[in-house]
Amino acid sequence: MNPDPFFSGLYVPLVTPFTTDLRLAPDALARLADDALSAGASGLVALGTTAEAATLTAEEQQTVVCICAAACRAHGAPLIVGVGTNDTAAAITSLRALAAAGDVAAALVPAPPYIRPGEAATLAHFTALAEQGGLPLIVYDIPYRTGQTLSAGTIAALSRLPGVVGIKHATGAIDATTVEVLGAPEPGFAVLGGDDVVLSPLVAAGAHGGIVASANLRTADYAELISLWHRGSAAPARRLGAELARLSAALFAEPNPTVIKGVLHAQGRIPSPAVRMPLLAASAGPVSRAALLAGSREGGGTCGPLLSRAAQGLDGLTAVAKGR
């Protein structure tokens, strides 16, 4: 096996843009995908938590994957697709359908959420997916959403499964398990940061990259942060990492991806900041603060003059969402 993992660098889990009446906005999604890859992202993630995948219809999910796949083909970049279910058989069916489409490099799959089956059962779940799903797997370790903690030993066992190519490490902390996982990863197994605020120290400690929701904004800077650490340029990496951590904290001041969408709308990049229930659109204050930290849109233009329009757009979205 190649000792260097295939999945390294920055992967952007794209938001799903909606119109003000909560319809999918495919043209805006295509622009976001192209913008992210043009700005230096190594690849994209479709249908992650940031995409509000649980609120999309099957047809909308297929459209999102097709749009992201087209952008990745154009840029020669890999596409990762989220597959989130606590039903092993249903997950295998979804994986097989994605594999048959031929445009997906890997699936991002959480430990079975809500059920909390235990580590032995979680390992059996991923073993079945790896053997029967037909796609490389990136384990999504996010215990504050799944309710299932994975020990360093279980992660090591997962990393040895044929077809498991990486992990999105989003445990909410850099702790003893993190250090052990980063200390001696299996050859070819990618450790990708998933907690945006601590991305910089995680990459400094040895992570291969990150799946970073905040990188819907300032994509080039998040890509550069990872590159700086990999090149050993510690001083500029620390400075940039501290700056981007402040942005990430602002973007997660309210539930993801509400603030991110508010800022993207303020920058004129999506037609509306709308989210689907049970989320509600972010309030104007957090959006304004995050927009200031996000700065100008990559490629030109400033978001400042658009902030008042964005704040106006936020007003009334709760009522629209309730009417969906």
Please indicate whether residue 261 is annotated as part of the active site: no
Helix (H) or strand (E) holding 264: helix 258-266
Q: Which of 11, 114, 144, 168 is catalytic?
A: 168
Integer Cα distance of 212 and 201 in angstroms: 14
**Burial of residue 30, with CB atoms counted within 10 A of its CB: 0-12 exposed, 13-18 middle, 19 or more buried:** middle
Reading phi first (left if > 0) and then psi (alpha if -120 to 50, else beta), residue 232 is in left
Please indicate whether residue 168 is annotated as part of the active site: yes
Helix (H) or strand (E) holding 248: helix 234-251
Integer Cα distance of 108 and 95 in angstroms: 10
Pairing state between β 106-110 and 137-141: parallel
* DSSP E strand stretches across 50-169: 79-82, 106-110, 137-141, 164-169
Q: Which of 11, 140, 222, 261 is catalytic?
A: 140
Q: Which residues are catalytic?
A: 140, 168
